[in-house]
Amino acid sequence: MLSVKSFSAGQITKPSGFCRGAIVCKSIRKNSSAAASFGMVSMRWRLVREGDFVVDVGANIGVVSCAMAACVGPGGRVLAIEMMPDTFRRLKSNVDRWGNDRTAVQCFNIALSDRAGEVTVGLSADFEINKGVAFVSHQPIPRDCVALRVPSITLSQLPIDREITLLKIDVERHEEQVLLGASTLLQARSVRHIVFEDWEVANTPAKKLLAAFGYTVWCLRAGPFGLRLRPPPADDRLIHVDCLATLDPNSVRAAFAKPGYRALKRQRSDTPLSPSRVREFA
């Protein structure tokens, strides 16, 4: 698991490595939300290898960026994008505490959308409790939300010089617009895997867009024995789930064939970073 020194302060200690197997499954068997949390980190490990390039859109304080930095290692690269200034400061503080001598992690305090310039951000009453609920909208912000303007660019405008192995998008239902801003990269088939939030139905705008660029799309389900790939159902299920789109469906099926999870090992904050190690459990 992530070693969180003080979650309220947003401090994350970079892990020393990973553990995987039945012990993790037993610990989450009775907690579906914990299963989903473990599953999302574990899923990304299945798709990412040392030396890969990962982009984390909606990085928050850096939980996923931290996991991906551990995955890609010294030869890899991670771009972490967070639009909210206070949250970005926590993200940047965490990245600085990990030590960039091991993995190149670059942070950007900007919103991603389908247009460059400025976008409107809405903050609901829950924002003080959960900093991850800020949302971008091209429509009028509801009256019970606070509205502010933040600078924006498209994903294609980021400093991208090679294939993106994994693009993670968690932007509170603005995923389609972020994907539209990445059309140049998608057309060039420069993004291998995309993880994004969407409704659990087949024909959403985001899924249609990705299918048009040749992606195979699954919904992800976290259970006691690992993650499962499921095709989007044809009926209308208004449930927000994590989805996986890929240009390489055969390798994804192989990566998800083995059950279980792989989770981050806890590292004491007063010890130096040690090389990543994998512990096997029967």
pLDDT class of 207 with cuts at 50, 70, 90: very high
Q: 0.85 exceeded by the pTM?
A: no
E strands present in 42-103: 53-57, 77-81
Distance CA 225, CA 155 (A): 35
Once rounded to an integer, what is the mean pLDDT over residues 26-36? 38
pLDDT class of 64 with cuts at 50, 70, 90: confident
**What pLDDT does residue 252 have?**
95
pLDDT class of 54 with cuts at 50, 70, 90: very high
Once rounded to an integer, what is the mean pLDDT over residues 203-232? 89
Q: 3-class SS at 223?
A: strand
**What pLDDT does residue 31 have?**
37
For residues 97 and 13, is the Cβ–Cβ distance under 8 A? yes
Helices (H), ranges, 189-264: 205-212, 249-255
- Backbone dihedral region of 96: left (phi > 0), alpha (psi from -120 to 50 degrees) or beta? alpha
pLDDT class of 268 with cuts at 50, 70, 90: low
Looking at residue 42, its amino acid is S
Once rounded to an integer, what is the mean pLDDT over residues 8-36? 43
**What pLDDT does residue 27 have?**
35
For 268, the token pair is 């004491």
Beta bridge partners of 280: none
Once rounded to an integer, what is the mean pLDDT over residues 10-25? 47
Q: Rounded to 5 degrees, what angle do the CA atoms 47, 133, 198 make?
A: 45
The secondary structure element, H or E, covering residue 19 is strand 18-20
Question: DSSP code of 197?
Answer: E
**What pLDDT does residue 117 have?**
94
Which of 1-15, 129-143, 177-191, 242-256 shows the lowest per-residue confidence on average (mean pLDDT)?
1-15
Distance CA 155, CA 113 (A): 7
pLDDT class of 267 with cuts at 50, 70, 90: low
pLDDT, averaged across the chain:
77
**What pLDDT does residue 280 have?**
30
The secondary structure element, H or E, covering residue 108 is strand 104-108
**What pLDDT does residue 99 have?**
60
Which of 36-45, 92-101, 263-272 shows the lowest per-residue confidence on average (mean pLDDT)?
263-272
Return the axis-axis angle of helices 32-47 and 63-72, rounded to nearest 10°: 30
For 93, the token pair is 């503080």
Which of 77-86, 207-216, 239-248 shows the lowest per-residue confidence on average (mean pLDDT)?
239-248
In angstroms, the first-to-last Cα distance of the chain is 18
Once rounded to an integer, what is the mean pLDDT over residues 99-119? 85
Once rounded to an integer, what is the mean pLDDT over residues 150-168? 95
Beta bridge partners of 241: 198
For 245, the token pair is 């789109």
**What pLDDT does residue 24 have?**
35
pLDDT class of 196 with cuts at 50, 70, 90: very high
Distance CA 1, CA 242 (A): 20
- Contacts for 153 with CB less than 8 Å, ≥ 6 apart: 110, 111, 112, 113, 116, 181
Q: Rounded to 5 degrees, what angle do the CA atoms 11, 74, 267 make?
A: 35
For residues 118 and 129, is the Cβ–Cβ distance under 8 A? no
Q: Which residue ranges form the domains of the chain, and what is each CATH number? A: 3-106+163-279 (3.40.50.150)
Query: pLDDT, tens digit, for every residue of 243-263?
Result: 999 999 999 999 988 887 766
